[in-house]
Structure 1
Amino acid sequence: MLFHDEEQGHIIIGEAVINLAVSHKEININSLIIELGTMAEGDASDSRLAQIADARRWLKAYAETSPRNREELRWLSASRHLGITRRES
């Protein structure tokens, strides 16, 4: 991870996740980046702003380098909504 303080970075992302969940918003990389930006707007602490910036950079790098096929993720999401489950062999 790129965080200066890895544990604090996890806490910052977790806080963003909770904010989105409480607001009944979709939780994905893009919504997390946006939420972290919103959190930064309301914060005055330089150290917290630096942690939020680190978390946003990490998420952006993850989104750009993620080997996952985006089409596959949409298919998995659709199959869950339809109640389709994979058979275990």
Structure 2
Amino acid sequence: MYFSSDEKANVIIGEAAMNLFNAGQDVNVELLIKELKVMADSEVNEYRLEQMQNARQWLTGFKTIGSRSTSPANWLSRNTGNEPAASASADDIFFRH
């Protein structure tokens, strides 16, 4: 099975969410960031470490309302080709079927 880099980033956040869920913890931004840090502490794959760091940085923008940057999260969002590139924002998250 092939995963694009966007899908791999989604998978990493999903892994962190499932770890929290399986441990009986709430799944929220703060705990996702902490779980990604715990995961990174035992990770040896440099690419996954980079994805975890990028995911933590992106999630940090959601810690408080209004503190989020308006720059696009290029590792997670993409332009579908149906819209001009200028309209893509960090709020646009696309999932492939």
> In which range does the TM-score fall when normalised by the shorter chain?
0.5 to 0.7
Q: How far 1:60 sits from its partner (Å)? A: 0.6
TM-score by length of 1: 0.65
Please give the alpha-carbon distance, in whole angstroms, between the structure 2 residues aligned to 1:31 and 1:38.
10
CA RMSD across the alignment: 1.4
Please give the alpha-carbon distance, in whole angstroms, between the structure 2 residues aligned to 1:57 and 1:6.
15
Aligned-pair identity in percent equals: 37
Partner of 2:74: none
Residue ranges of structure 1 left out of the alignment (5+ in a row): 67-89
Runs of 4+ that moved beyond 6 A? none
Partner of 1:58: 58
Q: How far 1:62 sits from its partner (Å)? A: 3.0
Decide which structure has greater helix share. 1
Partner of 1:20: 20
Partner of 1:36: 36
Partner of 2:75: none
Please give the alpha-carbon distance, in whole angstroms, between the structure 1 residues aligned to 2:18 and 2:24.
10
Residue ranges of structure 2 left out of the alignment (5+ in a row): 70-97
Count of equivalent residues: 62
- Opposite residue 62 of structure 2, the aligned amino acid is Y
Highest Rg: 1 or 2? Answer: 1
Q: How far 1:10 sits from its partner (Å)? A: 0.6
The answer to which structure, 1 or 2, has the higher relative contact order (CA under 8 A, 6+ apart) is 1
- Partner SS state of residue 51, structure 1: helix
Please give the alpha-carbon distance, in whole angstroms, between the structure 2 residues aligned to 1:44 and 1:21.
24
Please give the alpha-carbon distance, in whole angstroms, between the structure 1 residues aligned to 2:6 and 2:29.
18
